């Protein structure tokens, strides 16, 4: 897997997190909220939730090419009523969150072992599609649902020194600058916004004070939990250029659970296609953008490799077909190229149809596209 870097022109988002009362406040309009309930494990669980809250926040950014104004925000919350995906989704709907990161923490001699889970909330206020391709001049849409809604990460180990330095967020001192010793106050339980970071220092602002909190080692703790979660948030925000960056980071980790490895590969491929075909921008109408044939071939080969890894996972086949449908639409001005692209799409449709239930919405959309273009 090669992850070729794009130039990222972006500013940081201003996601909101803080004391427990903040989760009760509705998310900002158009915002994609990530909820991090306190992990089980008592005092250690509270500290772990604080660390993950800050780690996920660091993956958020405001995409300067995003005309929708959709932002990301992170809120910590009280523990779940039960350690289950059902309880996580229920809490997410209650708090207006599209994404919930929850789990358990156990303190061992060499560190704190964290078992994290990710729930994508069904029937949340955020659309639950990963990508839409507009066809026939905007009259029809082919939509790819989120690949999966529940994920179990491999256990990760956090340094005990980091957990000890975080403790309870409310007790962290706020310094005048990133490097000064002058303390302006403490975080407390008031809501606050994270504005920027510099090394192990994060600048925050609240109604009472603006200054810096310090968390040693936080900038060295990139892991698949925060990268995958941040990548999904960017998919939901339609920040495909940024999603490509984070899913590349996920795929650099070894021994990933199969579902996470496959879905990260798929999300990375469709993010790369979207960024290539639209120049990294979100347009209200489709704007063809030159793509070299080898780039399309590489993306399609990556998607086929994901299918081969688990040939019974229909989400992989659906991702390949929606890329092929998008490619057919992009080439619509050239009748011969469009014909060849549709021929390839039709072959994939026949090959993978048995993975889908009868009268599947996605397959019906693909079939409708093929029929419409073939009509004289």
247: domain CATH number is 1.25.40
DSSP state of 158: E
Give the Cα separation of 15 and 73 in Å (integer).
4
**Number of neighbours of residue 86 by Cβ within 10 angstroms:** 12
DSSP state of 183: E
Q: 57-116: per-residue pLDDT in tens?
A: 878 765 445 444 567 778 888 899 999 999 999 999 998 899 999 999 998 888 899 999
Do 192 and 270 lie in a common domain?
Answer: no
Is 95 domain-assigned?
Answer: yes
Do 209 and 321 lie in a common domain?
Answer: no
Q: 192-215: per-residue pLDDT in tens?
A: 556 666 767 777 776 577 888 877
**Minimum mean pLDDT range among 25-29, 62-66, 232-236, 245-249:** 62-66
**Minimum mean pLDDT range among 79-88, 179-188, 257-266, 362-371:** 179-188
Is 228 domain-assigned?
Answer: no
Do 187 and 314 lie in a common domain?
Answer: no
Each as own residue / partner, the long-range contacts of residues 298-305 (CB below 8 Å, 24 or more positions apart, any chain) are: 299/269, 299/272, 299/273, 299/323, 300/324, 302/1, 302/265, 302/268, 302/269, 303/265, 303/266, 303/269, 305/265
Do 291 and 165 lie in a common domain?
Answer: no
**Minimum mean pLDDT range among 41-45, 86-90, 330-334:** 330-334
Percentage of the residues of the chain whose pLDDT score is greater than 70: 75
Do 212 and 284 lie in a common domain?
Answer: no
- Given 220, 254, 270, which residue is the final one in a domain? 220
Please give the structure tokens belonging to residue 11: 């500013």
- Given 165, 187, 220, which residue is the final one in a domain? 220
Number of domains within the chain: 2
pLDDT at 42 over 80: yes
- Given 189, 220, 251, which residue is the final one in a domain? 220
- Whole-number pLDDT of residue 70: 62
Q: What domain range includes position 213? A: 10-127+152-220
Is 4 domain-assigned?
Answer: no
Do 252 and 344 lie in a common domain?
Answer: yes
Output 146 or 110, whichever has higher pLDDT: 146
Give whole-number Cα distances, 94 to 80, 98, 101, 116, 360, in Å.
Answer: 12, 10, 15, 21, 30
Placement of tokens 């889970």 in the chain: 117
Do 138 and 174 lie in a common domain?
Answer: no
Do 192 and 116 lie in a common domain?
Answer: yes
- DSSP, collapsed to helix, strand or coil, labels residue 72 as strand
Structure confidence at residue 264 as a pLDDT band (50, 70, 90) = very high
Do 209 and 275 lie in a common domain?
Answer: no
Is 288 domain-assigned?
Answer: yes
pLDDT at 345 over 80: yes
Is 285 domain-assigned?
Answer: yes
pLDDT at 177 over 80: yes
- DSSP, collapsed to helix, strand or coil, labels residue 8 as coil
Do 267 and 281 lie in a common domain?
Answer: yes
Give the Cα separation of 9 and 194 in Å (integer).
20
Contact (Cβ atoms closer than 8 angstroms) between residue 244 and residue 227 = no
Do 140 and 163 lie in a common domain?
Answer: no
**H-type alpha helices, the chain:** 43-58, 85-95, 160-166, 224-236, 240-251, 258-277, 293-309, 314-330, 335-352, 361-374
pLDDT at 19 over 50: no
Contact (Cβ atoms closer than 8 angstroms) between residue 58 and residue 197 = yes
Write down the mean pLDDT value for the chain: 79
Is 233 domain-assigned?
Answer: no
Average pLDDT of the segment spanning 269-290:
60
pLDDT at 279 over 60: no
Any idea what the Cα angle at residue 82 is, between residues 79 and 87, rounded to 5°?
90
Structure confidence at residue 150 as a pLDDT band (50, 70, 90) = very high
Structure confidence at residue 226 as a pLDDT band (50, 70, 90) = very high
Do 144 and 291 lie in a common domain?
Answer: yes
Pairing of strands 99-108, 32-37: parallel
Residues with Cβ within 8 Å of residue 216, at least 6 apart in sequence = 161, 162, 165, 200
Is 32 domain-assigned?
Answer: yes
- Whole-number pLDDT of residue 339: 83
Structure confidence at residue 117 as a pLDDT band (50, 70, 90) = very high
Burial of 48 from C-beta contacts in 10 A (0-12 / 13-18 / 19+): buried
Which one, of 193, 220, 215, lies nearest residue 71 by Cα?
Answer: 193
Is 5 domain-assigned?
Answer: no
pLDDT at 356 over 90: yes
pTM: 0.82
């Amino acid at each position: 897997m090669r992850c070729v870097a794009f130039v990222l022109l972006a500013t940081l988002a201003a996601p909101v997190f803080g004391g427990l009362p903040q989760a009760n406040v509705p998310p900002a309009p158009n915002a994609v909220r990530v909820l991090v309930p306190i992990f089980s494990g008592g005092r250690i669980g509270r500290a772990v939730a604080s660390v993950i809250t800050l780690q996920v926040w660091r993956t958020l950014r405001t995409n300067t090419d995003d005309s929708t104004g959709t932002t990301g925000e992170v809120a910590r919350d009280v523990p779940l009523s039960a350690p289950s995906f059902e309880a996580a989704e229920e809490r997410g709907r209650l708090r207006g969150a599209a994404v919930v990161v929850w789990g358990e923490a156990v303190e061992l001699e060499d560190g704190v072992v964290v078992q994290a889970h990710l729930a994508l909330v069904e029937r949340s206020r955020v659309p639950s599609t990963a990508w839409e391709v507009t066809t026939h001049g905007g009259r029809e849409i082919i939509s790819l649902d989120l690949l999966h809604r529940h994920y179990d990460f491999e256990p990760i180990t956090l340094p005990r020194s980091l957990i000890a330095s975080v403790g309870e967020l409310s007790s962290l001192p706020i310094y005048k600058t990133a490097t000064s010793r002058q303390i302006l106050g403490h975080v407390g339980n008031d809501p606050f916004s994270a504005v920027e970071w510099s090394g192990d220092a994060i600048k925050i602002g609240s109604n009472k004070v603006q200054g810096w909190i310090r968390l040693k080692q936080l900038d060295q703790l990139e892991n698949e939990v925060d990268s995958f979660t941040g990548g999904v948030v960017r998919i939901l925000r339609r920040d495909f250029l940024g999603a490509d960056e984070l899913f590349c980071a996920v795929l650099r980790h070894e021994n990933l659970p199969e579902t996470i490895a496959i879905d990260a590969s798929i999300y990375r491929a469709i993010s790369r296609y979207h960024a290539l075909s639209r120049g990294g921008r979100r347009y209200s109408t489709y704007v063809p953008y030159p793509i070299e044939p080898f780039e399309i071939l590489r993306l399609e080969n990556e998607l086929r490799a994901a299918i081969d890894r688990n040939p019974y996972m229909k989400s992989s086949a659906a991702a390949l077909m929606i890329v092929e449908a998008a490619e057919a639409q992009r080439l619509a001005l050239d009748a011969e190229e469009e014909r060849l692209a549709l021929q390839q799409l039709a072959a994939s449709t026949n090959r993978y149809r048995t993975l889908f239930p009868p009268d599947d919405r996605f397959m019906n959309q693909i079939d409708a596209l093929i029929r419409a273009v073939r009509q004289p």
